[in-house]
Each structure stands twice: as structure tokens, then as C-alpha cells.
């Protein structure tokens, strides 16, 4: 069974994403802080990590290194956030993010992208 991890401090957005991914036959876990995220990342290997929301000056490098050690190409990392500035998006992509999507989201599109990622 595929495993998806949603990392977000915003419970409401976590729930929106979780509902959108229901019925995919994947095990969905969520972490609302970094400690919980570390615990889950240490305990199991995920196929996809969805990071919901980014903060200014946050490149995510540390977080991505934690969940995807150097030689691995798995899991894929998607970031969903409100920021539209080129610098933020490019910074995240350079840090290893595979997809960056901005809010507002289309849940059907998100679901389609997740299905494709899990099939890969």
C-alpha cells in the first residue's frame, strides 16, 4: 500500500487535502509539527510527502534531507502554498521539491497529480 504524508501546521488545510486523497487506496498520515514529522519519517518510508504552506526564508532543505536521504529519489515532495514569488518557488525547487502548487487548489487536479506520482 502506498504511503502519503501530509505536513502542515494548519489542521483545516490538512483535512481538505486528506479528504481529496480519500479512496486512493493509500495510507495517509499527517504531521502538524516538525517533531511528529521526524518521528513518522524515521518510522516509515513514504511514497509522497505533501508539505502544505511555507514560511518566508524557509528553503525546506533540512526537512527534505530528513525525509529523503541523499542517494534516494523517493519520496516525491510536493509543496502546496500561497506564495507566488519566483524566488520562493525557485528556492524550493532547487532544494529538491518535485512540484509546487499554489492555493487556491483544484482538488480534482491535486488528486490526479497524486495518482500519477503514486503510480510512478
Partner 1 sequence: MNEWCFWGYMMLLAGSGVWLTVNLVAGWMQQRRRPRQQLLLQRSAGELVQGLLEESPRPLSVEHTVHAQQLLAELVASVHASLYGCAPAPLTRKLEQRGVDRWLVWQVKRSRGLKRAWALKLWGDLPPMPRVEPACEEWLLDPSPEVRLSALLVRLSAYPQDALRLVASCDKPMTLCEVSEVLHLLRRRLLPIAYQPLLESRNRNLQRLGLLIVHEFSIEEADEGLLRLIASTEDAELSLAALYTLCALHRPLRGKAIRQCIERLTAAERGVLMRHMAREGYAPAQVKRLWSERQRVRYEALVETYKTTLVWS
The reply on whether position 56 binds partner 1 by CB under 8 A is no
The reply on whether position 107 binds partner 1 by CB under 8 A is yes
**Of residues 35, 42, 104, 120, which one binds partner 1 by CB under 8 A?**
104
User: Quick check: 77 and 34 in contact, CB under 8 A?
Assistant: no
3-class secondary-structure state, position 92? helix
The Cα–Cα gap between 59 and 57 comes to 6
The Cα–Cα gap between 49 and 26 comes to 12
CB of 105 or CB of 118, closer to partner 1: 105
Q: Three cell numbers at 120?
A: 510512478
The reply on whether position 25 binds partner 1 by CB under 8 A is no
Question: Candidates 8-16, 40-48, 58-66, 87-95 — which segment interacts with partner 1 by CB under 8 A?
Answer: 8-16
The reply on whether position 36 binds partner 1 by CB under 8 A is no
The Cα–Cα gap between 18 and 29 comes to 9
The contact set with partner 1 (CB under 8 A) reads 11-16, 18-20, 22, 103-109
Amino acid at each position: 500500500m502506498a504511503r502519503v504524508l501530509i505536513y502542515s501546521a494548519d489542521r483545516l488545510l490538512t483535512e481538505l487535502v486528506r479528504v481529496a486523497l480519500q479512496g486512493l487506496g493509500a495510507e495517509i498520515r499527517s504531521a502538524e509539527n516538525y517533531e511528529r514529522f521526524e518521528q513518522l519519517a524515521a518510522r516509515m518510508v513514504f511514497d509522497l510527502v505533501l508539505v502544505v504552506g511555507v514560511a518566508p526564508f524557509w528553503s525546506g532543505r533540512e526537512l527534505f534531507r530528513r525525509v529523503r536521504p541523499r542517494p534516494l529519489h523517493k519520496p516525491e515532495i510536493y509543496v502546496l502554498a500561497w506564495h507566488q514569488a519566483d524566488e520562493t518557488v525557485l528556492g524550493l525547487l532547487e532544494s529538491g521539491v518535485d512540484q509546487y502548487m499554489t492555493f487556491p487548489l483544484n482538488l480534482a487536479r491535486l488528486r490526479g497529480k497524486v495518482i500519477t506520482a503514486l503510480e510512478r
